[in-house]
Amino acid sequence: MITLGIDVGSLTAKAVLMDGDKIIEKHLISVGYNSKTAADKLLSELLDKAFIERKAIAKVVATGYGRNSIGFADKATTEIICHGKGIHFLLPEVRTIIDIGGQDSKVIVLDGNGTVANFVMNDKCAAGTGRFLDVMARAMETEINDFGPLALKGKNPSEISSVCTVFAESEIISLVAKGEKREDITSGIHFSIARRIVSMVKRVGLIPPLAMSGGVALNVGLIHALESILETPVSTTPLSQFSGALGAALLAQEL
């Protein structure tokens, strides 16, 4: 049976097509302001890419912030369950998952069967979310894809004390003015967000092995910062950005 998992986040929309337990195609676009039209566009581009027709898809599960506005979905499920499912499929040993999204960060704990046992999400503040990294990369005039590698070059991470996204930006401006190195400031930024995530990990209680899912898992600087604070390895997968959509496609297989 062919199923579709679709994950419409606040920044990007992802889709995964599955046939049984095989991934047949995946696709990603940026959302823009209308999550509904983004979902339609995502679907039609995906169908073209996979050379299949819409009617070949038996079931669709939607997740992410736009999950309830997708008309063609058979079911909407939150990201928590989908990331749990997706990561458990890709990395069956993993018990704790960190996911940093555009608006939300979460830490998910799985039981031995891959079922979500508990989770914790960031408070209302955006400081521990992907948005923080976006804003900071812009302040450092760095492409988001180069941001992590630049952080790895920093030998003496700068101290970023403010947890507020807006104030951290002005703190960075004064660090630049003081002449601190660009890579050290960038490294400091990554440690700052990692500390916020670590406090969430501690709140829910870390059970190793630990993995990171979502697009931010591609950021090597953040993985490094998390590993050095937690003193434990953080696994990732090349499909990390698609793990929510993958989980949704897997759930659709059960429908």
> What is the contact mask toward other proteins in residues 130 to 169, using x (rule: CB under 8 A)?
----------------------------------------
Q: Does 13 bind other proteins (CB under 8 A)?
A: no
Q: Find the binder of other proteins among 12, 77, 187, 213 (CB under 8 A).
A: 77
Q: Does 92 bind other proteins (CB under 8 A)?
A: no
Q: Does 81 bind other proteins (CB under 8 A)?
A: yes
Task: Classify each residue of 96-125 as buried b or exposed e, where b means 16 or more C-beta atoms within 10 Å of its C-beta.
Answer: bbbbbbbebbbbbbbeeeeebbebbbbeee
CA separation for the pair 237, 227 (Å, rounded):
16
Q: Find the binder of other proteins among 78, 142, 162, 253 (CB under 8 A).
A: 78
β-bridge mates for residue 3, sequence order: 18, 59
Q: Does 115 bind other proteins (CB under 8 A)?
A: yes
Which residues lie below 8 Å from residue 234, measured CB to CB, with a gap of 6+?
A: 98, 210, 211, 212, 223, 226, 227
Q: Find the binder of other proteins among 80, 127, 137, 230 (CB under 8 A).
A: 80
> What is the contact mask toward other proteins in residues 187 to 216, using x (rule: CB under 8 A)?
----------------x-x-----------
CA separation for the pair 176, 66 (Å, rounded):
38
CA separation for the pair 132, 162 (Å, rounded):
12
- Give contact residues for other proteins (rule: CB under 8 A): 65, 77-81, 103-104, 113, 115-121, 123-124, 203, 205
